[in-house]
Amino acid sequence: MMSPLLSLPGAVPAEGVDEGVAAHYGDLFREQRALADGTGFVDLSHRGVVAVTGEDRLNWLHLLLTQHVSDLPAGLATEALILSAHGHIEHALYLVDDGTTTWAHVEPGTVEALIGYLESMKFFYRVEVTDRTGDIAVVHLPAGSIAEVPEGTVVRETAYGRDLFLPRDALEAYAERTGHPAGLLAYEALRVEQHRPRLGFETDHRTIPHELGWIGTAVHLQKGCYRGQETVARVQNLGKPPRRLVFLHLDGSEVHLPGAGTEIRIADEGPDGRKVGFITTSVRHHELGPVALALVKRNVATDARLLAGDTAAAQETVVEP
């Protein structure tokens, strides 16, 4: 589904999973600064939107999600995961309830599988699950933004900003009134700075929540049973996730960024040393320079100097070993 904002001056389309919206509008660092000072907005209309209605919706979702949502107050934002039976992350949902409907935006391309799973778990519960991607677009306003929020718009507000669930046919007019669009590359640069993991970027087929620091923000440790809870409880009690998320400052003298999947090794062992992890997302930040998120083995020393491919990298701890 192609965004009408791709027709704006300077818009360069994103590729891969983010296809359908702009990667940037001609000036990556200006767009990052606009988000950082609260004057920009991001078109996230390629993300999937799911709505759950019915009087049992919160109690029902509570049984399926990693988060405590049975008494979620209207207007309070949260996030949650759906895990496999072995505790591996399958879906990430960014939620808000407006009093009659629970809204969630999810990664592009995951709606069909998510709804398929939810439909299979309805049983006798009075709920309806609807794919609203076709008529609802997600727009992100950064923290501190004073941009207009149209009356009646569902808003998901967090410490990082506000996600608007905007009627898709109002997106173009909203952009004309708001101005200062920023592309996905600017949004991703701030996400990496904020150490926020993203499904499909920081996750693979065996990722568990503890590795990414999603415990506390997307996983409630005192709620009742849900699929994959046994793994969460075991790792929580033993304290030994196999990998951990780190933030990397990359050597700024390199022309090219080491891309996702680039192998990480211990610098003292040289380029032929043992592999201890890999880059998940790398970006150019307007203040920090080239930075990245990466997954490394749990037992890698927190002060170890690393090599991402041929690029020197200094790590900051995100998830404690």
Please tell me the distance from the alpha carbon of residue 57 to that of residue 176, in angstroms, as a whole number.
Answer: 36
- The predicted pLDDT at position 179 comes to 86
Mean pLDDT of 107-114: 98
Model pLDDT for residues 270-298, shown as the tens digit of each residue: 778 889 999 999 999 999 999 999 999 99
CATH 3.30.70.1400 domain position(s) in the chain = 48-131
What sign results for the dihedral spanned by CA atoms 313, 318, 319, 321? positive
- The predicted pLDDT at position 252 comes to 83
Tell whether the model's pLDDT for residue 162 goes beyond 80.
yes
CB 42 within 8 A of CB 183: yes
CB 71 within 8 A of CB 61: no
Mean pLDDT of 111-122: 98
Model pLDDT for residues 8-59, shown as the tens digit of each residue: 999 999 999 999 999 999 999 999 999 999 999 999 999 999 999 999 999 9
Write out the H or E segment, with its range, that includes residue 172: helix 171-178
pLDDT band at residue 97 under the 50/70/90 scheme = very high
pLDDT band at residue 98 under the 50/70/90 scheme = very high
Model pLDDT for residues 186-231, shown as the tens digit of each residue: 999 999 999 999 999 999 999 999 999 999 899 999 988 999 999 9
- The predicted pLDDT at position 314 comes to 96
Choices 3.40.50.720, 3.30.70.1400, 3.40.980.10, 3.40.710.10: CATH for 48-131: 3.30.70.1400
- The predicted pLDDT at position 87 comes to 97
- The predicted pLDDT at position 308 comes to 96
DSSP 6: G
How many C-beta atoms lie closer than 10 Å to residue 273's C-beta? 13
pLDDT band at residue 239 under the 50/70/90 scheme = confident
Tell whether the model's pLDDT for residue 269 goes beyond 90.
no
- The predicted pLDDT at position 216 comes to 84
Burial class (CB within 10 angstroms; exposed 0-12, middle 13-18, buried 19+) of 65: buried
- Closest C-alpha among 229, 222, 224 to residue 62: 224
Please tell me the distance from the alpha carbon of residue 307 to that of residue 112, in angstroms, as a whole number.
Answer: 39
CATH 2.40.30.110 domain position(s) in the chain = 242-320
Tell whether the model's pLDDT for residue 111 goes beyond 90.
yes
Please tell me the distance from the alpha carbon of residue 41 to that of residue 85, in angstroms, as a whole number.
Answer: 38
Statement: 242-320 belongs to CATH 2.40.30.110: yes
Averaged pLDDT of the chain: 96
Mean pLDDT of 82-99: 98
How far is residue 319 CA from its own chain's centroid? 16
How many C-beta atoms lie closer than 10 Å to residue 302's C-beta? 12
Please tell me the distance from the alpha carbon of residue 162 to that of residue 149, in angstroms, as a whole number.
Answer: 10
Q: Is 196 helix (H, G, I), strand (E, B) or coil?
A: coil
Whole-prediction pTM: 0.96
Radius of gyration of the chain (CA): 20
